[in-house]
A and B are shown apart, each in its own frame.
Chain A
Amino acid sequence: AQSVSQHNHHVILSEAASLELGCNYSYGGTVNLFWYVQYPGQHLQLLLKYFSGDPLVKGIKGFEAEFIKSKFSFNLRKPSVQWSDTAEYFCAVKPDSNYQLIWGAGTKLIIKP
């Protein structure tokens, strides 16, 4: 079955630390890839997306993600986190065989000031 795995359920970092959140999926075909973020008390919103082309995708607020097809991965990165990045982050994958997004379980990120 198609699935998305986010390895870390909780991550705690200090401000200015570098961030990498893992996302792996199980599907051998073409995919569209997404990272969504949910700040405390707010809607889920799109952080960045990959459809095709350059596998290094830049999103809002200094986030980026790299699609590595051979590893079925789409890890989210930020070189220097801020307290305001405290949120829950969800990875989602749309296989070309499906109109739905397959969602990871989310990673709760806490940034200590």
Chain B
Amino acid sequence: GAGVSQSPSNKVTEKGKDVELRCDPISGHTALYWYRQSLGQGLEFLIYFQGNSAPDKSGLPSDRFSAERTGGSVSTLTIQRTQQEDSAVYLCASSPRQGGSYEQYFGPGTRLTVT
């Protein structure tokens, strides 16, 4: 079946502009995660959605970052007033969270470059 998809694959934006990154999780997966991967760094957790529960936003680095998940499926990560330090690959992952499985399935990521 289809995996996790993300769009756009690459985004170049000017400092100060807003950007929206989209994630389509695997159908039926109730959990959705956003991560940031900077050059040479590991995965930095940003936000987590599980079903209809309130999201865990504890990883968002500033109030310029927000995310929503509509209808328990597609998610959008929004970065307002982008800064150069926001340049990174933004990864989305989904997980079935069934049968005790916390295995995460990753999308290809969106490479964001802020100039």
CB within 8 Å of B: which residues of A? 32, 34, 36, 42-46, 49, 51, 90, 94, 99-101, 103-106
Contacts and interface: CB of A to CB of B under 8 A. Distances in A.
Contact of A105 (B41, B91, B93, B108): B41
Contacts of A104: 42
A30 to B, nearest CB: 11
A99 B48 contact: yes
Given A32-B102, A51-B100, A104-B42, A43 B107 contact: yes
B12 interface: no
A50 to B, nearest CB: 11
Contacts of A99: 31, 48, 50, 97, 102
Interface of B: 3, 31, 33, 41-43, 45, 48, 50, 56, 91, 93, 97, 100, 102-109
A51 B31 CA distance: 19
B102 A45 contact: no
Contacts of B102: 32, 94, 99, 101
B42 A46 contact: no
A34 B102 CA distance: 10
A104 B107 CA distance: 19
Contacts of B56: 100
Contacts of A51: 100
B43 A43 contact: no
Contact of A106 (B33, B42, B105): B42
B43 A46 contact: no
